[in-house]
Amino acid sequence: MKEDEQYLLESEFSDGIRAGCSNVDLVNGQNFGYIDSMRVSRANRRRPKNISSDDPSSNRSCLLISFAVTGCVVVTFFAAITLIQLQHSILLRTLLETCDKFKYSAIDYTAYSADPSLPVNQAFVFRRPPNVVNLDCAKLLEGTDKDYIREAATHRVKYKDDPRLPMDCASIKRRNYFAQKSASKEEENFPIAVSRTVFKDYFFLETELSVSYAPQNWYCYALDEKTDETFRARMHSLSACLSNVVITHREWKMDSAGHNMSFSHLECMKLLSTKERKWNYMILLQNHDVALKTNEELVQILQWFGGANDVEVVKTPWGRVNYNLNWTFEHLKLFRDEFRNIIGANGYEPKLAFAKGLVESSFSRPAVEFMVNELNLEIMYLQLETEKYGVDEISLPTLQATDAIGLPGGFTHKCLAKGIGVGFVSRFTIWGDRMNKCGSHHSRHYLCVFGVEDLSLNLRDSVYLFANKLMPEFDFGAISCWHETIFNRTQLDRGTHRLKPEVYKQLPTVRYHAEKKANGSVDLDKFDCHYNISFYTT
């Protein structure tokens, strides 16, 4: 978008009115998305050349906007009083949403992705959305200019999906680049599958897919049953545009407590486990996870895993499992082969040994096929679903750590029995008790939401595979700069020179699997469950 076509609508109502709309820029456009400009600096505002503050017509337009903004505030105030007992009424929500739009400026999607003259699937060019073109991403990634980082954090750009985003395949490929052939022989010979549960922020998900997209990979999205029809239609349009993107046939009603997350990922496992869909590892993700590694780097790391699964295994907190229920294999009908429900693997009691871990994890294909073809997880999952919180954090770590199951690439419960939890690298998160490490100092559900301050501090040199979380409604600029970074590393600054092999090779799960593969078994009395945690704190 040209500089004189940039437009921002002042979100601080009183400031805009006091200025007599002299800082309000107007552009006529049919297709637009909403960008929160509440804190955008005046230095980044540009007046279209055809509008003058001395022009009576423009002043009348500004005056009308001022009256409209003021009217929204007044009407909403009285509506809130009148409808105080009807907080969720359609009328009140409509009034609030109408006023909310005065806080947002527009992206001209016709100029950005719907113009037929724009190149489709243009290689080696990251098309940064118009609202963040003025961000100096290089400075933010370098991290030395603290004043600039502070300024960018003060004037965060925020984004909401626009219902008028063009969703034909050509527009999708004008906004993004999707490689049509594998970038290297190594990547072609080691395809990856991704299972992601989603419910909102389509534009974010589209760009997240594109920046490290590989045509040999498989991408499965499991939609929340409660999601709106616009989001659902967009995800299906994305799938129709890209042959290796699939949507689960069944939708589950998911929530922030983790209910039905395990069932949703299982749907993706089933969908991608067919023989014609080739891949070596499956990575499980949630809506706002962001890749910290390129596909080339992921391939190298997963090869270092050597068939081991990367799953967090720590002690199960109180209140996550109802121990009054029957958790024997026989009751759960866990194995399709009934004999396996009576005699556990390697002489262990055929009963679940519980563990807890984050959902984000990486499973070898043999492990996924084992879960789909050898196990019947329905009763187990249903019993776990009876708890109120974090139910999705029990199922897979328990399968990983129950010795009697013998999951391919799995681990042991012996480390937990010794009081030692085992970390992983699939997901990077800063929890509330370490909020001093969170550059943005902003949290949601007791964990850090990363912003521009975190690009150099926490993301640039991280050894983790994915970060949770970045959200467009909080800091769209941080997301765009990071997406550009991964895109450039994928297309221009290729290689695995940024990786630290020892971080991944010395993971307890990787060492355990390597010893078991080499010797047929592991001497658990001698096995070292510890790991140098300083390797993966950033």
- Per residue in 477-536, pLDDT (tens digit) is 999 999 999 999 999 999 999 999 999 999 999 999 999 999 999 999 999 999 875 554
- Is there a single domain that holds both residue 259 and residue 299? yes
For residue 321, tell me if it sits in a domain.
yes
Whether residue 534 lies inside any domain: the answer is: no
| Domain-embedded: residue 531 | no
CA distances from 352 to 265, 328, 329 (A): 20, 6, 7
Long-range own/partner contacts, residues 72-80 (CB < 8 A, 24 or more apart): 72/98, 72/99, 72/102, 73/13, 73/99
**Cβ–Cβ under 8 Å, residues 248 and 220:** yes
Q: Which amino acid is at 508?
A: P
pLDDT in the model for residue 124: 75
* Domain shared by 358 and 470, yes or no: yes
- Residue 146 has φ and ψ, to the nearest 5°, of -65, -35
Q: Is the pLDDT of residue 39 over 70?
A: no
Q: Cα 41 vs. chain centroid, distance in angstroms?
A: 28
Angle between helices 508-519 and 295-305 (to 10 degrees): 50
Looking at residue 510, the DSSP 8-state letter turns out to be H
Do residues 82 and 107 both lie within one domain?
yes
Q: Are residues 419 and 337 part of one domain?
A: yes
Residues 117 and 182 in one domain: no
- Checking if the pLDDT of 110 tops 70, the result is no
Which residue from 538, 487, 433 is spatially nearest to 210, judged by alpha carbons?
487
Is residue 529 included in any domain, yes or no?
A: no
Report if residue 253 sits inside a domain.
yes
The answer to whether position 338 is within a domain reads yes
Q: What is the dihedral of CA 119, 124, 130, 133, to 10 degrees?
A: -150
Q: Are 489 and 141 spatial neighbours (Cβ–Cβ below 8 Å)?
A: no
Task: Identify the pLDDT of residue 123.
Answer: 76
Boundary (domain end) residue, out of 105, 128, 160: 160
Angle between helices 472-491 and 295-305 (to 10 degrees): 80
221-278 pLDDT, tens per residue? 999 999 999 999 999 999 999 999 999 999 999 999 999 999 999 999 999 999 999 9
Domain boundary among 116, 135, 160: 160
pLDDT at 26 over 60: no
3-state class (DSSP) for residue 208: helix
Number of independent structural domains in the chain: 2
Whether residues 137 and 217 fall in one domain: no
**DSSP 3-state assignment of 521?**
coil
| Domain finish residue from 130, 160, 190 | 160
Length of the chain, in residues: 538
Q: What is the pLDDT of residues 162-171, one digit of tens each?
A: 888 999 999 9
Any domain includes 525: no
Cβ neighbours of residue 288 closer than 8 Å, sequence gap 6 or more = 201, 204, 468, 469, 470, 471
CA angle 129, 137, 48 (to 5 degrees): 45
Q: Which domain holds residue 333?
A: 169-519
- Average confidence (pLDDT) over 42-69: 40
Same domain flag for 66 and 116: yes
Question: Are both 65 and 176 inside the same structural domain?
Answer: no
Q: How far, CA to CA in Å, does 249 sit from each of 77, 220, 224, 296, 382?
A: 44, 11, 12, 30, 20
Cα–Cα separations (whole angstroms), residue 346 to 350, 363, 404, 459, 522: 10, 22, 7, 42, 12
Average pLDDT for residues 151-157, to the nearest whole number?
A: 96
What band does 60 get if pLDDT is binned at 50, 70 and 90?
A: very low
- The reply to whether 91 and 116 lie within a common domain is yes
pTM: 0.81
The pLDDT score that the predictor gives to residue 78 is 52
Identity of the amino acid at 329: F
Instruction: pLDDT band for 77, please (50, 70, 90 cuts).
Output: low
Q: Token digits for 199? A: 């419910």
Looking at beta carbons, which pairs linking 229-234 to residues 24 or more positions away fall under 8 Å? Answer: 230/161, 230/163, 230/202, 231/161, 231/199, 231/200, 231/202, 233/167, 234/165, 234/167, 234/202
477 & 423 share domain = yes
In a domain, 382, yes or no: yes
β-strand partners of 245? 219
274 plus 385 within the same structural domain: yes
| More confident call, 5 vs 62 | 62
Kindly state whether residues 322 and 283 are assigned to the same domain: yes
Q: What is the pLDDT of residue 301?
A: 99
